[in-house]
């Protein structure tokens, strides 16, 4: 081998090592939580005070310090920027309690850093949880951090003793948490009354975490939105449909795949929403005008006129006329007022411009530059007025695809797809195609899908929507941003057939990888599940097993060495703590009574057996034929066959 070749190989190995180190350094994981003595009993329930609940089993807490052991799971098992773990246990074992403990810790940390004035017109102010004493540990860039919450306040430090959280800007060095739980019994604010501090009477801390209208300023959001525990399914459906249209279009256009394993995008039907636009303007003048008029005194008519003029000055094509122009102008007025009232970081530009001839000019400049979810509908209006492609009627994908490709750029970002979809002056119905059992093409409105089919689309679109929004904020001006996201999915298999459970993790990872986000943007996914199909995609090292509030991972490992790719029987029997068997209780009791009586009694008395089990010799064969396990059935046939024949003689 020549010296040149040796040098080349050495350089190659060094670069490879650097790349491996870089990938290792860019990991992000929520390591675990620890409730402390003195914590509100309503908060910890059956969890054990001072016990460390580790989400990854190669971490342990010794003398107040987290020790990281050797990791057996490959860093890029799911993706170089995605880690995934789970909590498993029987009902009442403490799974949801641990998730809520994480939520409470982030809530109180946010309150202490952002303060009581953290709310906006559209978002509730933060309220602390009473008597919360707990710790949260996470790893970022190979450094371990601890957040400790107490009655006195908080401490936020890294493993080297550096203190974090001096001001609100430090929150961007934390991580954003997206929690999704569609259970009817979850997160009912009325059930948190015992956690209200005296001076915050009638304010429930959890209600502030449902709002997204703070521009993702508070580093956590709970989905779906609930008001006093109730989910408005009609509002959720409308939001989910809008997001689903965008993601079906995006994945079809840029990745040639569907956003659902069984359905593909077919067409839109759009209709002008005259009443909806009119109601929005009335709402703006009633609710937003007084707030803005306090900053700059003017009449409602002048405010509407100045907002319209500010937009036309920056986009001359807005002067053009089409049959829907006036509705677009009205919507721009409404949305501009809405954003300036709801989001303080935009309102500041209105205040700065209040002495200018047009006080909205500076604010409109910033709205024009912004490319986050906040200004999405404004950009939809602007794109539409520049090229009024849509009119009332039906649009097939074969018509839309050339238009979207023509107007999109090579960056392949979903933002552009969203901008080019029908603007919010229209109501949009969305239709999907599918193949029937006979191979024929069928068409269905998305609202006519089954509950499980819709849940798969809606939950995935909600996850991707928030991840995308947080990532776009990362690149916006003068905005708090996060480069790490924690996704918590509770009871994620709800509504799902086993096949959907089986493909769930693979589908989620595939969609996240195709969002075209920077690999430095890291994601940690926590699943709370009862599904063996979901669990079979997660290594044992990444699972926290709970039993009556205690971590029992070491106990499970004695029976089940590995969960990743394990068979369903072993997962059901040992991972989910089934007390008797992995089959139903009725069949278990029938088979168990047969086997116990017959196999363990050498002086087996058929007549006595019939009397004790209420099984008579006339239908004994029927019971034996019911047994699905071939091995057990053969034993019963062999043993009982002789006895039955003897009885009949």
Q: What is the pLDDT of residues 407-437, one digit of tens each?
A: 766 455 677 888 889 999 999 999 999 998 8
- Cα–Cα distance, 553 to 32 (Å, whole number): 14
Which token pair is 625? 């034929």
- Cα–Cα distance, 330 to 304 (Å, whole number): 8
SS3 state of residue 21:
helix
Highest mean pLDDT among 116-130, 165-179, 321-335, 581-595: 321-335
What contacts 207, CB < 8 A, 6 or more positions away? Answer: 124, 189
- Cα–Cα distance, 270 to 273 (Å, whole number): 9
- Cα–Cα distance, 532 to 231 (Å, whole number): 28
- Cα–Cα distance, 179 to 139 (Å, whole number): 19
Banded model confidence at residue 33, pLDDT cuts 50, 70, 90: very high
Residue 320 pLDDT greater than 50, yes or no: yes
Give the residue-averaged pLDDT of 544-566: 84
| pLDDT computed for residue 417 by the predictor | 84
Beta bridge partners of 567: none
- Cα–Cα distance, 637 to 589 (Å, whole number): 18
Residue 525 backbone zone (phi > 0: left; psi -120 to 50: alpha; other: beta) = beta
Q: Which long-range contacts (CB under 8 A, 24 or more apart) does 284-291 make?
A: 284/333, 284/334, 284/337, 284/338, 287/341, 288/121, 288/337, 288/338, 288/340, 288/341, 289/337, 291/121, 291/341
- Cα–Cα distance, 269 to 422 (Å, whole number): 10
Q: Which residue has the higher pLDDT, 249 or 611?
A: 249
Give the residue-averaged pLDDT of 633-641: 70
In the predicted model, what is the mean pLDDT of the chain? 83
Residue 487 pLDDT greater than 90, yes or no: yes
Q: Which of 373-377, 382-386, 390-394 shows the lowest per-residue confidence on average (mean pLDDT)?
A: 373-377
Which token pair is 570? 């072993």
| pLDDT computed for residue 158 by the predictor | 92
Pairing state between β 143-150 and 134-140: antiparallel
Highest mean pLDDT among 149-153, 354-358, 410-414: 149-153
* Maximum pairwise Cα distance, the chain: 110
Residue 104 pLDDT greater than 50, yes or no: yes
Q: Which residue has the higher pLDDT, 88 or 19?
A: 88
Distances (CA, A) of 101 to 133, 139, 294, 354, 432: 10, 18, 41, 44, 41
Give the residue-averaged pLDDT of 433-451: 92
| pLDDT computed for residue 577 by the predictor | 58
Banded model confidence at residue 22, pLDDT cuts 50, 70, 90: very low
Say which residue the tokens 């087996």 belong to.
604
**Whose CA is closest to 192, among 209, 206, 181, 179?**
206
DSSP category for residue 260: S
Banded model confidence at residue 648, pLDDT cuts 50, 70, 90: very low
What percentage of the chain exceeds 70 in pLDDT?
A: 82
Pairing state between β 393-396 and 264-272: antiparallel
**The pTM of the whole model exceeds 0.85:** no
What contacts 115, CB < 8 A, 6 or more positions away? Answer: 126
- Cα–Cα distance, 149 to 40 (Å, whole number): 12
Q: Which of 278-282, 468-472, 484-488 shows the lowest per-residue confidence on average (mean pLDDT)?
A: 468-472
Quickly list H helices, 271-320.
274-287, 289-295, 300-314
**Whose CA is closest to 575, among 52, 30, 87?**
87
Give the residue-averaged pLDDT of 35-52: 94
| pLDDT computed for residue 7 by the predictor | 47
| pLDDT computed for residue 144 by the predictor | 95
* CA angle at 358 for the pair 356 and 363, rounded to the nearest 5°: 90
Give the residue-averaged pLDDT of 103-128: 79
Residue 101 pLDDT greater than 90, yes or no: yes
Which token pair is 295? 């900053």
pLDDT tens, 185-235?
888 888 888 887 767 766 788 888 886 666 687 899 998 888 888 888 888
- Cα–Cα distance, 423 to 376 (Å, whole number): 10
Q: Which residue has the higher pLDDT, 493 or 390?
A: 390
Quickly list H helices, 447-552.
451-474, 498-513, 532-535
Written as one string, the DSSP assignment of 407-459 is H--TT--HHHHHHHSPPTTEEEEEEEEEE-TTS-EEEEEGGGS-HHHHHHHHH
- Cα–Cα distance, 226 to 184 (Å, whole number): 10
Asked if residues 80 and 23 have their Cβ atoms less than 8 Å apart, the reply is yes
Q: HSE on the CB side for 293, CA within 13 Å?
A: 14
Which token pair is 170? 């430090």
Residue 117 pLDDT greater than 60, yes or no: no
SS3 state of residue 190:
helix
Say which residue the tokens 């707990």 belong to.
134
Asked if residues 154 and 165 have their Cβ atoms less than 8 Å apart, the reply is yes
DSSP category for residue 206: G
Asked if residues 24 and 142 have their Cβ atoms less than 8 Å apart, the reply is yes
Give the residue-averaged pLDDT of 564-582: 66
What contacts 569, CB < 8 A, 6 or more positions away? Answer: 582
- Cα–Cα distance, 145 to 160 (Å, whole number): 9
Cis preceding linkage at 211, omega within 30: no
Residue 10 pLDDT greater than 50, yes or no: no
Handedness of CA 116, 489, 526, 29 (dihedral sign): negative
What contacts 293, CB < 8 A, 6 or more positions away? Answer: 303
- Cα–Cα distance, 95 to 179 (Å, whole number): 14
Banded model confidence at residue 263, pLDDT cuts 50, 70, 90: very high
Asked if residues 45 and 97 have their Cβ atoms less than 8 Å apart, the reply is yes
Say which residue the tokens 């029997």 belong to.
573
Banded model confidence at residue 649, pLDDT cuts 50, 70, 90: very low
Q: How many beta carbons lie within 10 A of that of residue 41, not counting itself?
A: 11
């Amino acid at each position: 081998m020549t010296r040149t070749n040796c040098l080349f190989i050495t350089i190659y190995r060094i670069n490879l090592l650097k790349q491996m180190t870089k990938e290792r350094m860019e990991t992000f994981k929520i390591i675990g939580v620890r409730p402390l003595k003195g914590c509100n009993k309503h908060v910890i329930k059956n969890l054990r005070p001072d016990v460390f609940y580790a989400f990854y089993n190669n971490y342990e807490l010794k003398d107040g310090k987290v020790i990281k052991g050797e990791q057996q799971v490959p860093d890029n098992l799911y993706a170089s920027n995605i880690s995934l773990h789970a909590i498993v246990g029987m009902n009442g074992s403490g799974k949801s309690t641990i998730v809520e403990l994480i939520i409470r810790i982030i809530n109180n940390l946010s309150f202490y850093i952002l303060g009581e004035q953290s709310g906006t017109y559209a978002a509730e102010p933060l309220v602390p949880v009473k008597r919360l004493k707990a710790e949260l540990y996470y790893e970022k860039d190979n450094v371990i951090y601890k957040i400790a919450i107490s009655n006195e306040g908080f401490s936020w430090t890294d493993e080297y003793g550096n203190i974090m959280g001096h001001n609100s800007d430090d929150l961007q060095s934390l991580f954003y948490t997206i929690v999704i739980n569609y259970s009817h019994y979850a997160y009912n604010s009325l059930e948190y009354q015992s956690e209200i501090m005296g001076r915050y009477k009638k304010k429930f801390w959890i209600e502030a975490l449902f709002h997204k209208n703070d521009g993702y300023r508070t580093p956590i959001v709970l989905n779906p939105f609930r008001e006093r525990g109730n989910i408005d399914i009609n509002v959720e459906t409308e939001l989910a449909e809008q997001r689903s249209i965008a993601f079906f279009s995006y994945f079809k256009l840029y990745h040639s795949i569907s956003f659902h394993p069984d359905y593909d995008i077919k067409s839109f039907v759009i209709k002008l929403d005259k009443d909806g636009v009119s109601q929005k303007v009335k709402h703006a003048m009633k609710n937003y005008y007084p707030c803005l008029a306090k900053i700059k005194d003017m009449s409602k008519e002048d405010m509407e006129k100045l907002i319209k003029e500010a937009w036309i000055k920056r986009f001359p094509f807005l002067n053009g006329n089409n049959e829907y122009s006036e509705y677009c102008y009205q919507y721009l007025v409404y949305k501009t007022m809405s954003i300036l009232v709801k989001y303080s970081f935009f309102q500041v530009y209105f205040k700065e411009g209040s002495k200018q001839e047009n006080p909205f000019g500076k604010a409109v400049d910033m709205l024009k530059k912004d490319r986050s979810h906040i200004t999405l509908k404004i950009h939809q209006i602007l794109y539409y007025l520049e090229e009024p492609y849509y009119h009332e009627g039906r649009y097939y994908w074969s018509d839309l695809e050339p238009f979207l490709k023509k107007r999109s750029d090579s960056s392949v970002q979903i933002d552009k797809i969203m901008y080019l979809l029908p603007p919010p002056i229209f109501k949009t119905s969305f239709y999907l195609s599918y193949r029937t059992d006979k191979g024929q093409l069928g068409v269905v409105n998305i609202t006519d899908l089954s509950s499980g089919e819709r849940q798969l689309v809606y939950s995935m679109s909600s996850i991707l929507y928030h991840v995308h929004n947080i990532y776009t904020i990362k690149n916006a001006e003068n905005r708090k941003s996060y480069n790490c996201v924690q996704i918590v999915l509770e009871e994620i298999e709800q509504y799902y057939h086993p096949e959907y459970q089986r493909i769930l993790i693979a589908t989620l990872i595939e969609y996240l990888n195709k969002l075209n986000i920077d690999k430095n943007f890291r994601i940690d996914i926590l699943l709370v599940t009862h599904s063996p199909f979901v669990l079979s995609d997660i290594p044992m090292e990444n699972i926290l097993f709970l039993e009556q509030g205690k971590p029992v991972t070491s106990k499970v490992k004695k029976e089940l060495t590995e969960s990743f790719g394990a068979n369903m029987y072993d997962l059901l029997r040992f991972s989910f703590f089934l007390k008797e068997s992995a089959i139903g209780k009725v069949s278990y009791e029938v088979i168990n009574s047969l086997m116990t009586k017959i196999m363990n009694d050498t002086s087996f008395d058929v007549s006595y057996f019939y009397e004790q089990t209420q099984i008579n010799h006339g239908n004994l064969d029927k019971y034996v034929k019911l047994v699905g396990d071939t091995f057990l059935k053969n034993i019963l046939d062999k043993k009982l066959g002789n006895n039955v024949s003897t009885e009949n003689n």
